Amino acid sequence: MHDRHDLTDAQWAALEPLLPSGGARRGRPWADHRRVVDGVLWRTRTGSPWRDLPSSYGPWKTVYNRHRRWSGDGTWEAVLAELQRGCDVGESPWSVGVDSTVVRAHQDAAGAPHLPPADVAAERLAVALDDHVTRAAARPTGGRIELQEIGRSRVGSAA
């Protein structure tokens, strides 16, 4: 274990059977799932860049690639659904509250057009890629911009 936030043995025992086995995978065998999952959790908890991942979790690129692969193929969704099963019997539905004071986009995330990633299925992406959404965004809204000229005057100058 790296620190107090890593998975305990009991948590790992519940999580391990839900993860892909990697048995049918060609090439080099996967690195230890537990170490990689602990690395993903560390990065999620701290919010730091992938390259700042402590070396005790393995190479940052390995942890990133596994996280991206499992995000794209629905592994994380399946794990969450299985872990949630039966947890809320007799409880109200799950809800999530997000405080917008801490949810910020990076300064470079100003909406530049880009293509969606090719290695993640469109239905897995958080952004709706339907044609009607794109067409609706391209329609004029009826608003217009008026340019106004403001007379420039210098203080103390004679006209």
What pLDDT is stored for residue 103 in this prediction?
A: 62
CA atoms within 13 Å, Cβ hemisphere of 7: 18
Q: pLDDT for 76-119, tens place per residue?
A: 999 988 888 877 677 777 677 766 666 667 766 766 777 777 77
Q: pLDDT for 121-134, tens place per residue?
A: 777 765 444 444 55
Find where tokens 């947890």 sit.
Answer: 87
Note the residue count of the chain. Answer: 159
User: Which amino acid belongs to residue 90?
Assistant: G
List the domain boundaries for the chain: 32-87+123-139
Local confidence band at 138 (pLDDT 50, 70, 90 cut-offs) = low
Secondary structure (H, E, C), the chain: CCCCCCCCHHHHHHHHHHCCCCCCCCCCCCCCHHHHHHHHHHHHHHCCCHHHCCHHHCCHHHHHHHHHHHHHHCHHHHHHHHHHCCCCCCCCCCCCCCCCCCCCCCCCCCCCCCCCCCCCCHHHCCCCCCHHHHHHHHCCCCCCCCCCCCCCCCCCCCC
Q: pLDDT for 20-54, tens place per residue?
A: 886 656 777 777 899 999 999 999 888 899 999 99
Q: What is the pTM of this model?
A: 0.57
